[in-house]
Amino acid sequence: MRIVPIFLAITAFLAGCKNGDEEKCAFIPDTSGKKVTVKVEQLEDSVTRFSSKEELVGFFSRNTVLRDVFFNRKAYPDDSVFINELYTRFNNPYFDSLLIDTHQVFGDLRGLKDELNEAFTNLAYYYPHVKTPKVKTVITGLESDIFVSDSLIIIGLDYYLGPGARYKPNMYDYMLRRYRKNFIVPSIMLLYGIDGQFNKTNLEDRTVLADMISYGKSYYFAKQMLPCVPDSVLIGYTAEELKGSRENSDLIWKRLVQDEVFYSTSHLIKQKYIAERPKTLEVGEKCPGRIATWVGWEVVKKYMAGHSGVGLPQLMQNPSAKEIFSESGYKPM
């Protein structure tokens, strides 16, 4: 797993919004007596302590996924070049500074471990037969952020040092704000929620609606794993953007209808409404990007609110975006 000019009359979209109302937690399952403890192996200190290249070779032989995927071994012509490059990187003085900064932000990882335990305890509640993966943390020199598979999760802590970091990933500011420590576990749960193991979809349905509902299901899934994490964190909006979207949901809906978005299969339409962008300018200059995925989440919420007999696994196994959409009754006007 690995794991987007109706406002001519509403130019004040979000203008009066303040950081949002306090959000309520989603349903919190009773997991007493069923707590999961995620095994976390911390490797960030190890990578600054190699006294020879042979030690580095041994380290990677014990951590092959880390070597091949997280450090992208295939990008190098041969093992010798790869080891020389990584050995030089790990012994660069800036790498020690990066490790110090990582310890300052994460401490002993207690907060991260607690949130992982919460998420996977809730996952076990809904999916008791799913095995809990092992987790490894490391610093890479800003090469990789997260890798997620059924059996292993790798977290590049240095990607998530936040706005005060001396070294930051090379990306736009609107994306960079999602690279803080409180986004790590939500990001992992979103990757779980979008994966076909949990989120069944109709592969023949290439409409925008299919993408909207698939993303909406993944957000809903992640919220059940982390019931008290704010919606703004899960979707990566600011609190102001989320509040404005809610207050102007009718205007967003009208634009989607006017542009005939739902059943379009156009790549251009998907780029405008689903893909990663700072703003959805087709709706308004302050409307956040990926707005159709947020609408998809709202549709899924409305569907679940009206179908009390449908549990999370049943929702996730439903491949019909059209059914979820039509039976939700979602139509803000």
pLDDT tens per residue, range 91-139:
999 999 999 999 999 999 999 999 999 999 999 999 999 999 999 999 9
Instruction: Work out how many domains the chain is built from and give that number.
Output: 2
Report, as an integer, the average pLDDT of 140-154.
Answer: 97
Q: Do strands 152-156 and 40-42 pair parallel, antiparallel, or not at all (unpaired)?
A: unpaired
Q: Is there a single domain that holds both residue 120 and residue 245? A: no
Flag whether the pTM goes above 0.75.
yes
- The confidence band for 22, taking pLDDT boundaries of 50, 70 and 90, is low
Three-state secondary-structure class, residue 288: strand
17 found inside a domain: yes
Tens digit of each residue's pLDDT (9 = 90 or more) over 289-309:
999 999 999 999 999 999 999
Q: In Å, what is the CA distance from 265 to each residue of 13, 206, 274, 299?
A: 28, 6, 12, 19
Tens digit of each residue's pLDDT (9 = 90 or more) over 239-280:
999 999 999 999 999 999 999 999 999 999 999 999 999 999
Reading the block at residue 273, the tokens are 């409404």
33 found inside a domain: no
3 found inside a domain: no
Q: Is there a single domain that holds both residue 182 and residue 206? A: no
Residues of the domain holding 262: 11-22+198-328
Query: What count of Cα atoms within 13 Å lies in the side-chain half-sphere of residue 52?
Result: 3
* Domain's final residue, options 189, 216, 233: 189
* Domain's final residue, options 122, 154, 189: 189
Residue 230 DSSP class: -
32 found inside a domain: no
1 found inside a domain: no
Q: Is there a single domain that holds both residue 65 and residue 162? A: yes
Chain mean position to CA 36: 21
